[in-house]
């Protein structure tokens, strides 16, 4: 119960609230998540006032409530939080539209991190309002916001000079014009992702290299028109590059890998799935110069052989995850050399070998010494036997082995019904 002061201010009546100053209670509430704050707000009128104080709502993540969040909720939060709000995650809140984000921009001028991914009703109008009122914005995620176009990137370049992280993946209206404008105005960008943006081309990527030399993370997955020219420029200008994804960029050749090897010694993640023109030559150059590599996805790099694995074993002692799916020239000898390298004993935790038709039980025998190995993929490796998997598990009891075996064809039945279940595969 509360008593009301003659001035109209609600006073606490419970023992905790009487003994703890308001400032201490506010500090305690500041550590609570959205759900807990709302529950505290139901305890009493006094706690409701404290729980809904804007200072407690500096960071809000509404992803778990995405189906329930409507525009008016965001408008109410914006008005209540005002300048306190710095982090807001609305991922998947598809009922939230541009009007709500404009309200947010009008009240929450100190917002720094905004995640609007999969908010498909968001348009350029909302981003333009953000750019006018939220100059402190440093990170924005617009992934799968299909109405976003170059106009949004141009607005951000004009009004958000401190932007260092932006994701416009699957925003199909984005072109090289928008990316170039963004790069010119936001030269502090360190993370850029345009996965699936087919109109992001060499000109766009070269603009990022020239105007944003501090880039550390770059995702160009499925930007399939880019060539060695732009990746070489990125390698040359962005010396602190740590993570690069160019999967499905099928025009790239070993020239790109060689440029990365020459200029980007701190590279730790490289995803090049589907880059079928890469050969041993490019990966050997990388292995010799990029000793900090931890994660590599080489799926469908179908020209590489055991020579790549031999050099990775020698030059990349920190390698944790390696994907070799559909690398059909890899053999047991390559795995033997990998297992004998510096990365195998301590670092290697995930190895994906599905659809490598030449590997046999000998591969699993070689991997017994990889004590940190936690998961191995062996789908469609038809020369691997159940006995070899059992031997591997005897030495590495915690390992997860993903494989399947076609069942033995059952004998035809003369009398009696056919089986009513499918046994096309068995997961181990």
Per-residue H/E/C for 45-89: HHHHHHHCCHHHCCEEECHHHCCCCCHHHHHHHHHHHHHHCCEEE
Domain annotation covers residue 161: no
Retrieve residue 219's tokens: 């995702």
140 has pLDDT over 70: yes
The 3-state DSSP class for residue 84 equals helix
Domain annotation covers residue 352: yes
Residue numbers of the domain that contains 44:
13-56
Closest CA to 302 of 279, 336, 269: 279
Give residue 327's pLDDT: 97
Q: Provide the strand spans (E) within 239-342.
A: 243-245, 269-271, 295-297, 321-323
What number of residues does the chain have?
Answer: 428
Give residue 428's pLDDT: 40
Which element (helix H / strand E) includes 193? strand 191-193
7 has pLDDT over 50: no
Least confident of 274-288, 382-396, 401-415: 401-415
The span from the CA of 80 to the CA of 41, in Å, is 14
pLDDT digits (tens, 9 = 90+) for 319-330: 999 999 999 999
Instruction: Provide mean pLDDT across the span 401-408.
Output: 76
Q: What are phi and psi of 72, to 5 degrees?
A: -60, -30
417 has pLDDT over 80: no
Domain annotation covers residue 248: no
CATH no. for residue 47? 1.20.1280
The 3-state DSSP class for residue 321 equals strand
Domain annotation covers residue 186: no
Instruction: Provide mean pLDDT across the span 141-146.
Output: 97
More reliable by pLDDT, 25 or 426: 25
Closest CA to 248 of 226, 264, 233, 268: 226
Provide the pLDDT confidence category of residue 10 given band limits of 50, 70 and 90. low
Domain annotation covers residue 320: yes
More reliable by pLDDT, 123 or 27: 123
Mean pLDDT of the chain: 88
The 3-state DSSP class for residue 356 equals coil
Give residue 274's pLDDT: 97
Give residue 2's pLDDT: 46
Provide the pLDDT confidence category of residue 21 given band limits of 50, 70 and 90. confident
The span from the CA of 35 to the CA of 39, in Å, is 6
Provide the pLDDT confidence category of residue 353 given band limits of 50, 70 and 90. very high
Crossing angle for the helix pair 124-133 and 150-159, to the nearest 10 degrees = 0
Number of domains the chain is built from = 2
Crossing angle for the helix pair 98-107 and 124-133, to the nearest 10 degrees = 0
Give residue 73's pLDDT: 86
Provide the pLDDT confidence category of residue 49 given band limits of 50, 70 and 90. low
* The dihedral formed by the CA atoms of 251, 270, 197 and 69, expressed in degrees to the nearest 10: 160
Residue the block writes with tokens 């004993």: 345
CATH no. for residue 283? 3.80.10.10
Domain annotation covers residue 17: yes
Domain annotation covers residue 31: yes
Domain annotation covers residue 52: yes
The span from the CA of 123 to the CA of 102, in Å, is 11
């Amino acid at each position: 119960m509360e008593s009301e002061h003659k001035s109209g201010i609600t006073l606490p009546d419970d023992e905790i609230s009487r003994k703890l100053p308001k400032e201490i209670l506010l500090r305690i509430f500041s550590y609570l998540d959205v759900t807990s704050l709302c529950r505290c707000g139901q305890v009493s009128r006094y706690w409701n006032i404290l729980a809904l104080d804007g200072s407690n709502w500096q960071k809000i993540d509404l992803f778990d409530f995405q189906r329930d969040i409507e525009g008016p909720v965001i408008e109410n939060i914006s008005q209540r939080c005002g300048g306190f709000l710095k982090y807001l995650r609305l991922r998947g809140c598809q009922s939230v539209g541009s009007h709500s984000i404009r309200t947010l921009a009008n009240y929450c001028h100190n917002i720094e991190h905004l995640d609007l991914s999969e908010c498909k009703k968001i348009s350029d109008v909302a981003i333009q309002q953000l750019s006018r009122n939220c100059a402190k914005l440093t990170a924005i995620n617009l992934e799968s916001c299909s109405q976003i176009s170059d106009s949004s990137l141009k607005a951000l370049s004009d009004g958000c000079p401190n932007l260092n992280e932006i994701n416009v993946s699957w925003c199909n209206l984005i072109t090289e014009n928008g990316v170039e404008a963004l790069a010119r105005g936001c030269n502090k960008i360190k993370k850029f992702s345009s996965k699936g943006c087919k109109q992001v081309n060499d000109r766009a990527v070269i603009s990022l290299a020239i105007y944003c030399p501090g880039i550390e993370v770059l995702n160009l997955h499925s930007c399939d028109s880019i060539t060695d020219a732009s990746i070489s420029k990125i390698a040359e200008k962005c010396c602190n590059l740590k993570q690069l994804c160019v999967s499905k960029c099928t025009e790239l050749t070993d020239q790109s890998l060689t440029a990365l090897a020459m200029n980007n010694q701190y590279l730790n993640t490289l995803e090049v799935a589907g880059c079928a023109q890469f050969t041993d030559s490019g990966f050997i150059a990388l292995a010799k110069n990029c000793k900090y590599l931890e994660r590599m996805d080489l799926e469908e790099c179908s020209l590489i052989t055991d020579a790549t694995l031999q050099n990775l074993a020698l030059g990349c002692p920190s390698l944790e995850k390696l994907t070799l799916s559909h690398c059909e020239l890899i053999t047991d000898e390559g795995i033997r050399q990998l297992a004998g390298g510096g990365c195998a004993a301590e670092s290697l935790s995930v190895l994906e070998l599905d659809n490598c038709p030449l590997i046999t039980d000998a591969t699993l025998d070689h991997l017994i010494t990889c004590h940190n190995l936690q998961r191995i993929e062996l789908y469609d490796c038809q020369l691997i036997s159940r006995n070899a998997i059992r031997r591997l598990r005897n030495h590495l009891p915690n390992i997860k082995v993903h494989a399947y075996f076609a069942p033995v064809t059952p004998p035809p039945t003369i009398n009696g019904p056919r089986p009513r279940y499918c046994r096309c595969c068995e997961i181990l």
